[in-house]
């Protein structure tokens, strides 16, 4: 490491790390195993520790990604102008039913699953879609 004399401490450590990595990569699996045992390292225990550490880091990254996605989703819900401007459920039903009764005159047709009644969430979702598409004017936008 004669060229290391002109290097800073960080560069020297990086060069040393490179040399050690190259040395390890050049060794056969059998030689690595033999050296680990000679150093008093139980290969099965060490492998288990490394696996646990890797899985813990993967799980932490997944939790962080989920938390970021949840924050983004929650923010999008808070920013939704349609949800804020939604009238009472009975008014939603009344306006949608009036629009449906208009039928072909307004170019609107709807199909319901299995002819069942709609849940409150279905009514609200349909309202949001109709407001967003401009089929129903939102009378509470200025509130």
Is 3 inside any structural domain?
Answer: no
Residues 41 and 52 in one domain: yes
Residues 42 and 101 in one domain: no
The structural domain count of the chain equals 2
Average pLDDT, the chain: 83
pLDDT for residue 104 = 55
Residues 91 and 72 in one domain: no
Question: 108 or 42: which carries more pLDDT confidence?
Answer: 42
Residues 13 and 58 in one domain: yes
pLDDT for residue 130 = 85
pLDDT for residue 106 = 66
Residues 72 and 89 in one domain: no
Helices assigned H by DSSP within 8-135: 9-26, 29-38, 43-79, 81-84, 89-102, 120-133
Crossing angle (nearest 10°) for helices 29-38 and 43-79? 100
Is 1 inside any structural domain?
Answer: no
pLDDT tens by residue, 91-109: 988 888 888 887 656 677 7
Is 138 inside any structural domain?
Answer: no
**pLDDT band of 56, cuts 50, 70, 90:** very high
Give, in degrees to the nearest 5, the angle at Cα 96 between 93 and 102. 140
| Domain boundaries, position 124 | 81-133
Domain boundary among 53, 79, 105: 79
Q: How far apart are the first and last CA of the chain?
A: 74
User: Are the CB atoms for 108 and 135 separated by under 8 Å?
Assistant: yes
Q: Which of 12-16, 85-89, 104-108, 129-133 has the highest mean pLDDT?
A: 12-16
Summarize the confidence of residues 127-142 as an average pLDDT: 73
Residues 75 and 85 in one domain: no
Residues 73 and 15 in one domain: yes
User: Are the CB atoms for 74 and 80 separated by under 8 Å?
Assistant: no
pTM for the structure as a whole: 0.42
pLDDT for residue 61 = 98
């Amino acid at each position: 490491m004669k060229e290391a004399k002109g290097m800073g401490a960080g560069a020297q450590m990086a060069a040393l790390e490179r040399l050690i990595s190259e040395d390890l990569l050049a060794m056969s699996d059998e030689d690595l195993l033999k050296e680990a045992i000679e150093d008093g390292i139980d290969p099965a225990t060490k492998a288990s520790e490394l696996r646990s550490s890797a899985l813990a880091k993967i799980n932490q990254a997944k939790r962080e990604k989920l938390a970021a996605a949840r924050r983004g989703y929650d923010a999008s819900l808070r920013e939704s102008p349609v949800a804020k401007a939604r009238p009472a459920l009975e008014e939603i039903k009344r306006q949608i039913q009036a629009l449906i009764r208009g039928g072909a005159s307004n170019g609107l047709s709807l199909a319901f699953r299995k002819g069942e009644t709609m849940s409150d969430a279905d009514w609200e979702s349909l309202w949001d879609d109709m407001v967003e598409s401009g089929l129903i004017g939102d009378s509470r936008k200025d509130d």
